Amino acid sequence: MENTLSRYVTITGEWSWADFHSLLPAGVVLRIAAIPPTDPNGTDNDLIFWVHSKSVVFTTSSAYASFSHHSWLEPGKEWALVWKCAVHEKVRFFLWLALHNALLTNDVRHRRHIGNDLSCGLCGGEMEDLNHILRECPMSSLVWHDFLYRNQMETLLELHLNQWIVENLSNNTVFRGVGWSTFFATAVDALE
């Protein structure tokens, strides 16, 4: 309770999972994963306060009251899809971060003032955002070319990135001996 938030952020601006993921339920950790960490180079002091009481001081009664209104932990559709996907927990983390655009791509680094090179590290393309890495980059196209049918390839970029991820995680057909959602999740994790 004595630690401030910056204690749990690496110098490259990522959550320092190893320091706290074993302390919290997996559902809470996934929720945190979707929140951008505090700026490691920022000058603002972070403060510890208890959000569930007006006095911002922890009390047992306010904690109890908050548990009876825990709507922020209610799973949505995306949550359920990620959670039931038959992949390693690390890949589920990745999917959850991807759905919240919380991965440290060069465009995110640039926005958060922890990098100034926007270009793709693989092809040199102008903008390395998540959509580029997972679908637009010629390197990822090569991967999808091997695994998607021609008509799927033609519509690869039609859906919004999140919709595309959700559709693929909802696909339960068997592909090369495993569920497509497992195959898809593993492939996008490898691309990142």
Q: Which residues bind to Zn ion, rule: CB under 5 A?
A: 120, 122-123, 125, 137
Q: Which is nearer to Zn ion, 34 or 122 (CB)?
A: 122
To Zn ion, the closest distance from the beta carbon of 139 in angstroms equals 6
Q: Which is nearer to Zn ion, 137 or 165 (CB)?
A: 137
Q: Which is nearer to Zn ion, 51 or 142 (CB)?
A: 142
Q: Strands, E, within the chain: which ranges?
A: 174-175, 178-179
Contact present, 170 and 99 (Cβ < 8 Å):
no
Q: Which is nearer to Zn ion, 123 or 191 (CB)?
A: 123
**Number of other CB atoms surrounding residue 71 within 10 Å:** 5
To Zn ion, the closest distance from the beta carbon of 172 in angstroms equals 30
Helix (H, G, I), strand (E, B) or coil at 178: strand
To Zn ion, the closest distance from the beta carbon of 113 in angstroms equals 23
Contact present, 83 and 75 (Cβ < 8 Å):
yes
To Zn ion, the closest distance from the beta carbon of 138 in angstroms equals 6
CA-derived radius of gyration, the chain:
19
Q: Which of 74, 78, 76, 33 is nearest to 168 (CA)?
A: 78
